[in-house]
Amino acid sequence: MNIKAPIIMELIFIVISVLVYITTSNTFFIFNFLYIGTAIAVGLFMMSKNNRYARNMIMLAVGCYLFVYVGILGHENLSLSGFWYYLSLGVFEGAVIHFLIAKILGPLLFGRGWCGYACWTAMILDLLPYKNPQNERKNWGYVRYILFAAISCGVCSLFVFKVANLDSIIFSLFILGNIIYYILGIALAFYLKDNRAFCKYICPITVFLKISSYFSLLRVKVNENKCISCGKCVRACPMDVEMLNNSRKRENGTECILCLNCVHSCPNDAVKL
């Protein structure tokens, strides 16, 4: 990894923090994005020094901050239900800003980097023993769309039926939803021998991510002149991305989480970010 990457990442988050502060006049967002940017930058620097645990450390630093500090202690629902809730209220804060930057507009720049470096569900799943998929991919991707529709319609119904105590309900959904995600994600990982099975088949956030990450500027590419088609990059990929060509239509191409396992596994230095 180029040593400039940590500096560029820090600068990007400084710009984001300033822009969001100007938009909201909320000083919290300066601290918020500077913390996230610094955590990622430090982790990327460690990755440039070939620290094998650097990405896990980034995920724990960012994921725990968002889930525990902002989510649980700050009483902020940063999940899909929270996004639809605050968006329906017309509130440009918390979950709405989080989704716009991390999961809707941001992926146009950095693809599914959220999944590889900040997701509080995946930070636990990546610690499980099946880092490389042990079985063929299932045709269960439709589940994410069903869950996405169910959550979206469920939040809308709260407004339609004018349910009371919405704030408490939405926060409870955040806690309960994440407990279910952890249980289901861990169970699927062991059942399918694949740490990222939840991400591939269940996670509703990927409905947003698959669209915007298709156009991502930041992509892992292969030098086809240097590639010897050994397949090591494909076997090392936790998301089953077909890395042997640079087409945006390559198999599972929108699911690349920029973990760089493919880069590190290539014996001919043909794969680069």
List pLDDT tens digits, range 142-186: 999 999 999 999 999 999 999 999 999 999 999 999 999 999 999
Domain assignment present for residue 149? The answer is: yes
Q: How far apart are CA 5 and CA 44, in angstroms?
A: 7
Domain assignment present for residue 182? The answer is: yes
- What confidence score (pLDDT) does residue 2 get? 62
Q: Is 223 helix (H, G, I), strand (E, B) or coil?
A: coil
**Backbone φ and ψ of 111, nearest 5°:** 55, -135
90 and 177 together in one domain: yes
188 and 259 together in one domain: no
Beta strands in 163-235 (DSSP E): 221-222
Report the percent of the chain where pLDDT is more than 70: 99
Domain assignment present for residue 68? The answer is: no
Distance of CA 257 to the CA centre of its chain: 7
125 and 204 together in one domain: yes
- pLDDT band at 229, cuts 50/70/90? confident
- What confidence score (pLDDT) does residue 94 get? 85
- The residue from 197, 212, 227 where one domain ends is 212
- pLDDT band at 231, cuts 50/70/90? confident
Q: How far apart are CA 241 and CA 50, in angstroms?
A: 23
175 and 248 together in one domain: no
Domain assignment present for residue 101? The answer is: yes
124 and 164 together in one domain: yes
- The residue from 186, 212, 238 where one domain ends is 212
pLDDT digits (tens, 9 = 90+) for 174-213: 999 999 999 999 999 999 999 999 999 999 999 999 999 9
Domain assignment present for residue 32? The answer is: no
Domain count of the fold of the chain: 2
- What confidence score (pLDDT) does residue 159 get? 93
- What confidence score (pLDDT) does residue 249 get? 87
pLDDT digits (tens, 9 = 90+) for 45-57: 888 888 888 999 9
pLDDT of 3 > 70? The answer is no
Q: How far apart are CA 210 and CA 153, in angstroms?
A: 21
83 and 164 together in one domain: yes
139 and 237 together in one domain: no
Least-confidence region, from 20-34, 109-123, 180-194, 242-256: 242-256
Helices 206-213 and 142-160 meet at what angle, rounded to 10? 120
236 and 128 together in one domain: no
Domain assignment present for residue 59? The answer is: no
Task: Domain of residue 242: give its range.
Answer: 219-273
- The residue from 178, 197, 212 where one domain ends is 212
Domain assignment present for residue 58? The answer is: no
Q: Is 265 helix (H, G, I), strand (E, B) or coil?
A: helix
Q: What is the pTM of this model?
A: 0.90
237 and 137 together in one domain: no
Q: How far apart are CA 241 and CA 159, in angstroms?
A: 40
Tell me which DSSP letter residue 255 carries: G
Q: How far apart are CA 248 and CA 263, in angstroms?
A: 18
193 and 94 together in one domain: yes
Q: How far apart are CA 162 and CA 160, in angstroms?
A: 5
182 and 225 together in one domain: no
Domain assignment present for residue 29? The answer is: no
pLDDT of 4 > 80? The answer is no
**Backbone φ and ψ of 222, nearest 5°:** -115, 135
At 78, which amino acid appears?
L
Q: Is 51 helix (H, G, I), strand (E, B) or coil?
A: coil
Q: How far apart are CA 220 and CA 222, in angstroms?
A: 7
**CATH code, domain with 223:** 3.30.70.20
Q: Is 210 helix (H, G, I), strand (E, B) or coil?
A: helix
Q: How far apart are CA 125 and CA 241, in angstroms?
A: 18
262 and 204 together in one domain: no
